[in-house]
């Protein structure tokens, strides 16, 4: 079990296994260390990394079907949400990050936590032959661009889960000029202005 003092400090850890918690601790320690050399998160965000980033990433688990076996995380950067999901689930995850130094960081966390996941140091649009159940992304690019990146990368019954901010409504309106898509919005647990958008069908119409 996660220590009581940590659960008291971060109640969302109550449903996290001890093994996952230990992996997350290693990850955050490495994040603090590497953040001094490469820009993974802001200094302000680093002070509240568990609440602002870890919890933000973990909340996606409730939207994953038990039958799902694969996730692709676009623009993984410092590891949110993709690396957190890799450390917290048994789903096969592909982390796509074009920055070499960030890719090395992601691989180092996987090595030290003995976690199985794939890191692709490539631009998203250059990744071919990828078919997954879920695509995730956080603070990466516009919704329209995310849909373009996601084309031909989802399994038939798969869907996208994108963590978005207060501009989500304007992004939806802009994307609807080029795309036909079905979506649902869910309130973020960590940010009153944040939303999770789930998209399970999309088609380019322009």
Whole-number pLDDT of residue 2? 87
Each residue's pLDDT tens digit, 151-172: 999 999 999 999 999 999 999 9
Cα-Cα-Cα-Cα torsion 9, 11, 15, 19, nearest 10 degrees, comes to -10
CB 24 within 8 A of CB 2: no
Q: Residue 97 gets which letter from DSSP?
A: -
> Is the domain covering 4-204 a CATH 3.40.50.150 domain?
yes
Each residue's pLDDT tens digit, 53-104: 999 999 999 999 999 999 999 999 999 999 999 999 999 999 999 999 999 9
Read off the pTM: 0.95
Whole-number pLDDT of residue 44? 84
């Amino acid at each position: 079990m996660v220590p009581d003092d940590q659960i008291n400090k971060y109640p969302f850890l109550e449903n996290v296994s001890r093994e996952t918690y230990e992996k997350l601790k290693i990850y955050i320690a490495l994040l603090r260390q590497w953040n001094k050399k490469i820009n993974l998160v802001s200094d302000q965000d680093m002070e509240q990394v568990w609440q602002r980033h870890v919890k933000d990433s973990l909340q996606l688990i409730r939207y994953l079907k038990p039958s799902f076996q694969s996730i692709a995380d676009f623009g993984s950067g410092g590891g949110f949400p993709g690396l957190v999901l890799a450390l917290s689930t048994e789903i096969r995850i592909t982390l796509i990050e074009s920055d070499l130094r960030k890719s090395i960081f992601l691989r180092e966390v996987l090595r030290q936590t003995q976690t199985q996941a794939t890191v692709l140091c490539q631009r998203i649009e250059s990744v071919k032959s990828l078919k997954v159940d879920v695509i995730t992304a956080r603070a990466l690019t516009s919704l329209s661009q995310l849909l373009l990146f996601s084309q031909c990368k989802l399994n038939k019954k798969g869907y996208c889960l994108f963590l978005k901010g207060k501009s989500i409504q304007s992004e939806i309106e802009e994307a609807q000029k080029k795309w036909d898509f079905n979506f649902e919005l869910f309130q973020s647990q960590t940010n009153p202005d944040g939303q999770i958008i789930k998209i399970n069908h999309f088609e380019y119409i322009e």
